[in-house]
Structure formats: structure tokens, C-alpha cells
Amino acid sequence: MSPIRIIEPPRGMDDILPEDFDLINQIIQAVRKLFKLYGYCEIETPPVEYYEIFAAKSGEEILEHMYVFTDRHNRRLVLRPEMTAPVARLVAGKLSRRPLPLRLGYIADCYRLDEPQWGRRRRFYHGGFELFGSREPIADVEILQVVSEFFRNLNIAGYSFKIGHVGIHRSLMDEAGINEDEQDRILSLIDRGRVDDAIELARKNAKDSAPLKTMEELISLRPDKAGKIITNVINMMDRYEKVRSAAFNLLEIVELASKVIDDDILIYHPGFSRGLGYYTGLIFEVYGPLADIALAGGGRYDKLVELFGGRPIPGVGAAIGITRVYQYLSDRLGRVGKTPPPEVHIAPLTKNAWSISLLVSRRLREEGIATEVEVSSKNISDIIKTCERRGIRFLVILGDREVEQSQITLRDLDKREQINIPIVEIERAIRIIKEGK
């Protein structure tokens, strides 16, 4: 058979090398630590979902970049582009009778047919927190708090929250008589920076132009510390009670969040929108110094579970871009992953030592000691050089002499000392190794 000359993965998808995995696992463990501390139960959904799950409310930006295919039964399927919709589907179905509030977490790979660039890969990982069953601002604040703690735990200094409130925009468009589908399109355009197109579309569909003028004023406001600017927004909305209610909701969230998060990093962007059509209230993204792309994001989605046929269950959540955070740490902050070496390397120098090496390695592993066995025919000097280069401290040597005398030679490569230990006294070797850890 002719060789297949393919050594690279599909464009925009990445092989993960051992040193990459070390840093990525640090990020994943930081997420999982917060699952435990905040009471989020980890779940998993399939990477393949029905097209309809995302078609309803995921927004044009995502719909245009999904991997869509048809199976042999002509069912339209997609590789999931994000996780909130599948989790809401799960809550509408299998978890519909669980006691509320319901806290769910996930680590998942997602897929989008974006143009590959820094921070945008076609396969990427998200770590998410989804909180179902509460409309109260304290639930929104919990999500902000857990995300803030994630960045603090990774020692990322200078991060900040870009905060907005879809409810303010939607309420103004309700006042203008714009239907929900057109609202989704308008918010998607704003999210993509096409504000002029969004305003033009809003004017085209509005039955009352006065609320749109207020919305244009709102969008034109400069971002500022949230606690400072929201009161001004509330004063702008004196004619629209529903809009004021949404603005007061944001103010309450920010005031409560400032008890546990430095209010200097809570920045309100009055013109901020997110392209996902299911958001109903608070929205946010997190940015770090030297990164012009969001490292995390989320918001409130109170109608999503109902969309999938479930009972009315409000929700709020966030997704941390594990792949983006990894790129940010490695490319922008210069952090490097490293593959930890085993604590012990066993070198059987003769075939007669193979069985003993396997038995010794099994005993060491039973004690939780990371151990690898030499499986090539290197000489002892090459083995020692390799161990020293990799940072392996202990070397167990098994040659003909050791086999004949039923012993091992344990060499401490840091101290450059070695001792002979009978096999029957293997516990002595275990103590020495553990004390040297």
C-alpha cells in the first residue's frame, strides 16, 4: 500500500503536543477546581447535535460558521459550535425534574468554520458554568465571581470585564415595535461592529422612531466604570419603564458584584452586544492585557430552556475559552508548559532482567511512584545521560549481576550515589525514593 503523505491536521485544527497539554491541563484543572468549590456538577453532551438546536437562537455569526452535514437518514446534524444550547436542551429534557437551582459545568471541544487566526481556531475547548433556576441578581454575580476567580487563580493580572445588558436594548426595540427575530439580527450586527447597518435595519422595522433615537444615544455613550455610568443611563430612560427596569437590574448586579470583585475592572459598554440570540439580560466578556479578543464570556438567557420545550427555567452562565487562554498564556505572557518526568527509570540491561524489571515497576507504581521501564537496547551510559537530561532523579539498574544476586542497584542521579538493595527489601528502596521526592 502506498504511504499516505498527510502529516498535518485539517486547517484550523491543532495537534496538542505533550508540553502544550501540560499548560492546557493547568487551565482545565483551574476550571474543575471551581466546579468543586462552587458546587457545579460536571456533565458532557455529544459533539454532534441536531441542526435545529442552534438554528433557533444561536445568531447569524455562528450559523454562518457551523460544520453542517447530513447523515445517511437525511438528518441535518452539526458539530457543536458552543455549549449553552446543548446544556439547555439537557435541562429541558433529562434534567427537567431536578431540584432548582441547578449548577452544571463542562469541559468540551467545540467547532466553528472561522478563518483561522490568533485566538480563533476551528476546534477549540470551552470550560463552562451554567446556573439554572434563579432570576435574582445574586445568580448573575455568582457567574461573574467564578470567572473572576478563575483569572485570579491563574495569576493573570490586569484582566477586566466588558459588561452590557441585552435587556436594555431589547426593551427599547420592543418600545419601537420591532419583532424579536429582527431584534436578533440587529444585535448580531452590533456585535460584529456593523452599528450603522444595525441602526438602518432598526429604522426600517420600527413603528415608533423615538425609542430608536434613545437607543442611538445609548450606543454612542463612551464605556466607563459600571457603577459610574449606569445611573446616567437610567436617567436617559425616564419615558420607558421596562427599559428603566432592565437598567436597574444591571445596576443591582454591578453594586452586588463590587462586593466581591474590584469595581475598577467592571466596565460598562452601553453599545455592547453579543451575537448569540438567546441572551435576555446581563452579558459580559473578559479581556486581558495584550489581548484584543475575549478570553471568556457569558450572560443571562431566561427563555432558552422553554425554546426546547422545557418548563420556564431561567439561566445564566459563562464559558471560559480554554484554547484562547492557553494561547494567551503561552504567546502573550510567555508561560511554558513542561512534561513532568517520571520519578524512577528502570534499566534492564539484559533479557534475563525483563521479568524482574516489570515486577519492580509494578510494585513502585502500587506506591504511587511514577516509573518507566527502558524498552530499548541502550547502554547504561546513554541511559544515564538521557535520565539526567530529562530530570529523572532515580535510576534502577538491573544487569546480570543484579539478577544473579536477586538485588537492584538504586542510583540517585542528583547526589551521584548508589546502593545495592535485595529484591526482598524493595520497601527500603521505596522509602528512599519517597524521601527524595
- Strongest mean pLDDT among 14-18, 58-62, 294-298: 294-298
Backbone angles phi, psi at 175, to 5 degrees: -60, -30
Euclidean distance between CA atoms 114 and 124, whole angstroms: 11
Asked if pLDDT for residue 437 goes beyond 70, the answer is no
40 versus 274: the higher-pLDDT residue is 40
Percent of the chain having pLDDT more than 90?
A: 82
Among 131-135, 320-324, 376-380, which stretch is predicted with the lowest mean pLDDT? 376-380
Asked if pLDDT for residue 61 goes beyond 90, the answer is no
The DSSP secondary structure of 74-138, one letter per residue, reads: --EEEE-S-SHHHHHHHHHTTTTTS-SSEEEEEEEEEE--PPPBTTB-SEEEEEEEEEES--SHH
As annotated, the residues of the chain forming the CATH 3.40.50.800 domain(s) are 344-436
Residue 290 pLDDT level (bands cut at 50, 70, 90): confident
Name the pTM for this structure: 0.91
The confidence score (pLDDT) of residue 306 equals: 95
Angle, to 10 degrees, between the axis of helix 180-191 and the axis of helix 166-175?
130
Residue 271: C-alpha distances to residues 95, 174, 217, 400 (Å): 36, 17, 9, 77
Euclidean distance between CA atoms 319 and 14, whole angstroms: 20
Name the strand (E) or helix (H) holding 347. Answer: strand 344-348
CATH number of 344-436: 3.40.50.800
- Do the beta carbons of residue 281 and residue 167 sit within 8 Å? yes
Asked if pLDDT for residue 140 goes beyond 70, the answer is yes
- Do the beta carbons of residue 316 and residue 102 sit within 8 Å? no
What mean pLDDT do residues 93-111 have? 97
What mean pLDDT do residues 312-331 have? 97
**Span 1-18, pLDDT tens digits:** 778 888 899 999 999 998
Extract the C-alpha cell encoding 182: 429582527
**Span 328-355, pLDDT tens digits:** 999 999 998 888 899 999 999 999 999 9
What mean pLDDT do residues 378-399 have? 96
- Do the beta carbons of residue 146 and residue 268 sit within 8 Å? no
Euclidean distance between CA atoms 196 and 218, whole angstroms: 14
- Do the beta carbons of residue 227 and residue 181 sit within 8 Å? no
**Span 223-248, pLDDT tens digits:** 999 988 999 899 888 889 999 999 99
The confidence score (pLDDT) of residue 58 equals: 73
As annotated, the residues of the chain forming the CATH 3.30.930.10 domain(s) are 18-332
The confidence score (pLDDT) of residue 35 equals: 98
Q: Write out the CATH class of domain 18-332.
A: alpha beta
